[in-house]
Homo-oligomer: A and B are copies of this chain.
Amino acid sequence: MKKIFVIGAGLSSSDLIKYLLDNATALDWTVKVGDLSLELAKSKVNNHPKGIAVPFDINDNKQLKDAVAWADIIVSMLPAFMHPVVAKECVGQGKHMATASYVSDSMKALDAEAKQKGVTLLNELGVDPGIDHMSAMKVIDEIREKGGNLLGFISNTGGLVAPESDNNPWNYKFTWNPRNVVLAGQGVAQFIENGQLKFIPYHRLYSRARTYSVLNYGDFEMYPNRDSLQYCEIYNLKTIPTLIRGTLRKAGYCKAWNVFVQLGATDDTYKVPNSEDLTNRGFINSFLAYDPKLSVEEKIKCEIAEANDPVVFEKLRWLGVFEEKKVAISNASPAQILQKILEGKLLLEPNDKDMIVMQHIFDYEMDGMKFRRKSSMVIIGQDTVHTAMSITVGTPLAIAIKRVLTGDLKEKGVVIPTKPSVYLPILKELEEYGVKFIEEEEEIK
């Protein structure tokens, strides 16, 4: 009998826990789910005979020690900054651990000790990071194996609203942490394109968005992520002339979002004095020059070129940013105020479905010819519990956990899914859950 302890029963744990319980009888597992909210843990275990729901507080060191002592593998679905404390305890007690998050420096520091103790630390096994690594490496390894030379790799992912629930002028709803959406892109985007190192500062990121079409889902806009350059190392593409990773939004989003960026309304570095007294309209006006005659609407069209586009202006109006309505949030940064305003309009409704879109574009040359291969995945959520996000974050992680427990995944230390022995079986099983990539290839001139 193997014992799995899942810490955190939030939204993205639903399909992870479901997979583990669905396999628990056949594989003789016990699945304990701990959460600050016992109710939430119970709702995910749903009285399954092999499941146990318990109250769990990560700040209670005794609880953590006992959980690790009990389990064969610990799954941390906590916010990423909390993983290291779990990981340390696991390695200390010689137990395996799994997360969907990026490998942090403190996780990396445990690699040697984990290897020595025969412990596996699974990381980056969600959707992004996770499915992106696996699906990209599969094609990269295939192209290399047949003798192709990679010229370019562009990899784009977006968490969006499903077409059937897409009923607002932004073609966007929050399907993930709204705060991260408001702050998205801050810093500088660094990537390499045709051999040239490129930097895009935040204030020009959204105006330099590029358009891609994905299968029959229409046009999407992509803005580059901060971190593309490090993938030259991670994917062993050190001399590739073009490597860009980006975030996808539906066409038309970036020009409108850029209005907020240009205003300065996404700034999270200072607090607006007396923000509780502000109205939506007053908030927008605080970023526009004083004028004794012009209205806020007139000023925004004058000062921010994008707002002068009627389509963009309608998106802004629809959000209610020009309304004399109190923002009702105190001691808040512009980003926090904007988030509050957006949450009034862009939250998922009870019957809404979400969608994950991922597309890799590989350019390569072989036998004197050049080819472009696209590998695209679109997955739509089943409902508000089994969202596309939960399915794509939880399922690959759960499959990897199974493979650790069955002994099929033998790697020790810090593991991310960039090796065929790790990613191939997971990708194969993911297809049963609807997570599959459609490949298209054409010769390019």
Q: Which residues of A contact B (CB under 8 A)?
A: 187-188, 190, 193-194, 196-201, 203-204, 208, 229, 262-264, 267, 269-270, 272-273, 285-287, 289-290, 292, 303, 334
Contacts and interface: CB of A to CB of B under 8 A. Distances in A.
24 contacts: A187-B270, A188-B264, A188-B267, A188-B269, A190-B270, A193-B290, A196-B285, A196-B290, A197-B273, A198-B286, A198-B287, A198-B290, A199-B267, A199-B272, A199-B287, A199-B334, A200-B264, A200-B287, A201-B203, A203-B203, A203-B262, A204-B264, A204-B303, A208-B289
Contacts of A269: 187-188
A271 to B, nearest CB: 10
A286 B199 contact: yes
Given A199-B267, A208-B289, 10 more contacts: A187-B269, A194-B290, A194-B292, A196-B290, A198-B286, A199-B334, A200-B287, A201-B267, A203-B262, A204-B264
A204 B304 CA distance: 10
A365 to B, nearest CB: 17
Q: Which of A199, A269, A273 has the most CB of B within 10 A?
A: A199
Contacts of A187: 269-270
B201 A264 contact: yes
Contacts of A194: 290, 292
Contacts of A229: 273
A198 B283 CA distance: 9
A197 B267 contact: no
Nearest to A291: B194
A300 to B, nearest CB: 13
A194 B293 CA distance: 13
Nearest to A197: B286
Nearest to A270: B188
A156 to B, nearest CB: 17
A262 B200 CA distance: 10
Contacts of A303: 204
Contacts of A262: 203-204
Nearest to A266: B201
Contacts of A193: 290
Contacts of A287: 198-201
